[in-house]
Structure 1
Amino acid sequence: MLESLYYQISSLTLYQSVFNHEVGKAFLRLLQTLQQNNEPVSTKALVLKAYGQWVKTLASHNISWQDFIIEQILGNDNPFSRQVQKQSLQDLPLSLIEAVKYDLTVLKTVYNCQPEQIKQWVQAFTHVDFELITWDLNPSDQNFFNQSENWLNSLEDLVQYYRKQGTGIIAQYKAFRWQTGKLIGIAHPDPIKLHEIIGYEFQKESLVKNTEFLLAEYPALHVLLYGSRGSGKSSLVKALLHQYYNQGLRLIEVGKSDLKDLGMIVEKLRDLPQKFIIFVDDLSFEEDDEAFKALKVVLEGSLTAKASNVVVYATSNRRHLIREFFGDRPRPSDGDEIHSWDTVQEKLSFSDRFGLTLTFEPANQETYLEIVRGLAQQADLSLEGEEIEYLAKQWATRHNGRSGRTARQFIDYLQGELAFKNR
Structure 2
Amino acid sequence: MGDPIDPADPLARIAAALERMAPPLLPPTDWSAAPAYVWSGATVLAVADLQAIALDRLVGIDAQKASFTENVRRHAAGLPAHDTLLWGARGMGKSALVKAAVAAQQASGAPTALVQAGGGPEALTTLPALFDQLGGIDRRFVVFIDDIGFDGPEASSAARPLRSLLEGGAMARPGNVRLAVTSNRRAIVERNMNDQDDPINPRDAIDDRMALADRFGLSLGFHACDQDTYLAMIEGYAQAHGLAFDAEDALLWARQRGARSGRIAWHYVVELAGRAGKVV
Paired residue secondary structure (1:293): helix
1:358 aligned residue: 220
Deviation at 1:327, TM superposition (A): 3.0
Unaligned runs of 5+ residues in structure 1 are 1-76, 78-166
Aligned equivalents of 1:305, 1:354: Cα separation in 2: 13
Paired residue secondary structure (1:220): coil
Deviation at 1:380, TM superposition (A): 2.1
Deviation at 1:409, TM superposition (A): 0.9
What letter matches 1:401 in structure 2?
A
Deviations along 1:196-236, whole A, 9 cap, x unmatched? 22220000000001001101111111111111111011111
Deviations along 1:233-255, whole A, 9 cap, x unmatched? 11111112321224111111111
Deviation at 1:349, TM superposition (A): 4.2
Paired residue secondary structure (2:219): strand
Indicate yes or no: 2:104 matched with 1:238: no
What letter matches 1:221 in structure 2?
H
Indicate yes or no: 2:258 matched with 1:415: no
Length-normalised TM-score, structure 1:
0.54
State the identity %: 30
Unaligned runs of 5+ residues in structure 2 are 1-26
What letter matches 1:219 in structure 2?
P
Indicate yes or no: 2:97 matched with 1:249: no
Deviation at 1:270, TM superposition (A): 1.2
- Is the alpha carbon distance of 1:190 and 1:400 closer, same or farther for their aligned partners in structure 2, counting shifts above 3 Å? farther
- Is the alpha carbon distance of 1:291 and 1:248 closer, same or farther for their aligned partners in structure 2, counting shifts above 3 Å? farther
Match of 1:302 among 129, 149, 169: 169
Aligned equivalents of 1:341, 1:401: Cα separation in 2: 33
Deviation at 1:320, TM superposition (A): 5.7
Paired residue secondary structure (1:190): coil
- Is the alpha carbon distance of 1:345 and 1:236 closer, same or farther for their aligned partners in structure 2, counting shifts above 3 Å? same
Deviations along 1:123-155, whole A, 9 cap, x unmatched? xxxxxxxxxxxxxxxxxxxxxxxxxxxxxxxxx
Deviation at 1:269, TM superposition (A): 0.9
Q: Which has the higher contact order (CA 8 A, sep 6+)?
A: 2
Paired residue secondary structure (2:80): coil
Pairing 1:1-400 to 2, within 5 Å after superposition:
169-245=30-106, 246-255=109-118, 256=120, 257-286=122-151, 287-289=153-155, 290-304=157-171, 306-319=173-186, 321-329=188-196, 336-337=200-201, 341=203, 344-381=206-243, 383=244, 388-400=246-258
What letter matches 2:145 in structure 1?
V
Deviation at 1:280, TM superposition (A): 0.8
1:401 aligned residue: 259
What letter matches 1:379 in structure 2?
H
Deviation at 1:194, TM superposition (A): 1.7
What letter matches 1:356 in structure 2?
L
Aligned equivalents of 1:188, 1:173: Cα separation in 2: 8
Deviation at 1:305, TM superposition (A): 5.8
- Is the alpha carbon distance of 1:234 and 1:378 closer, same or farther for their aligned partners in structure 2, counting shifts above 3 Å? same
Aligned equivalents of 1:193, 1:313: Cα separation in 2: 18
Aligned equivalents of 1:300, 1:412: Cα separation in 2: 42
What letter matches 1:417 in structure 2?
R
8 Å CA contact 1:269–1:310 kept in 2: the answer is: yes
200-209 or 244-253: bigger deviation: 244-253
Aligned residues: 246
Paired residue secondary structure (2:144): strand
Deviation at 1:379, TM superposition (A): 1.5
Aligned equivalents of 2:240, 2:232: Cα separation in 1: 12
Paired residue secondary structure (1:247): coil
Deviation at 1:185, TM superposition (A): 1.2
Aligned equivalents of 2:187, 2:71: Cα separation in 1: 23
Aligned equivalents of 1:249, 1:196: Cα separation in 2: 22
What letter matches 2:51 in structure 1?
D
Aligned equivalents of 2:207, 2:170: Cα separation in 1: 24
What letter matches 1:369 in structure 2?
L
- Is the alpha carbon distance of 1:216 and 1:409 closer, same or farther for their aligned partners in structure 2, counting shifts above 3 Å? same
Deviation at 1:291, TM superposition (A): 3.8
- Higher Rg: 1
Aligned equivalents of 1:169, 1:271: Cα separation in 2: 12
